[in-house]
Amino acid sequence: MSDRDVIGIRIKGFKFLAFAFKQQENIDAKESFNFEIATNIEINQSQLNVKVFVRVIRVSVNKEVAKAETATLFTVDGFEHFLSGDGNVKYPDGFLVTPVSLAISTTRGAILAKGAGSFLENIPLPIVVPKTFVPSSDDRVEN
């Protein structure tokens, strides 16, 4: 394996940028909640910041009952192998799926922990396919 093939990623930090919910009463066992999930990826050479946005909608009343925004910061080792002539980073296709997956999973656990004792502890963020949250290389704008 050449040095060009080596790339490493580490979580450097995680924080809530926003978190709010309205305690829900009388939740039936058949009650359903819809989740709206979105991500934003900011690339700055050796750092990636993945923001995750979550809205929880209670279907029976068709209202938002919770929302969260998180930021997970990653550092990337070996990024210099992916610098273009203009100084922008072009990571290999598929690479960004890993930090997006980690950011969504971390957000899931953090919402469960922060929502402990409320209705949120019984409705975890669903498992999602992280590659659906990563734009294709043609759609990405690198910083």
pLDDT digits (tens, 9 = 90+) for 9-28: 999 999 999 999 999 989 98
Spatial separation of the C-alpha atoms in residues 107 and 143, rounded to whole Å? 24
What's the structural domain count of the chain? Answer: 1
Question: Within a domain: residue 143?
Answer: no
> What distances in angstroms separate CA 111 from CA 2, 19, 88, 99, 130, one per listed residue?
40, 8, 34, 18, 18
Residue 110 domain boundaries: 3-133
> Which residues touch 6 (CB under 8 Å, ≥6 apart)?
77, 78, 81
Q: Give the domain CATH number at 47.
A: 3.10.420.10
Question: Within a domain: residue 106?
Answer: yes
Question: Within a domain: residue 141?
Answer: no
Question: Within a domain: residue 103?
Answer: yes
R_g over Cα of the chain: 18
pLDDT tens string 53-94: 999 999 999 999 999 999 999 999 988 888 888 878 888 878
pLDDT tens string 42-53: 998 889 999 999
For the entire predicted model, the pTM comes to: 0.88
pLDDT (0 to 100) of residue 1: 43
Question: Within a domain: residue 33?
Answer: yes
Spatial separation of the C-alpha atoms in residues 110 and 116, rounded to whole Å? 10
Question: Within a domain: residue 138?
Answer: no
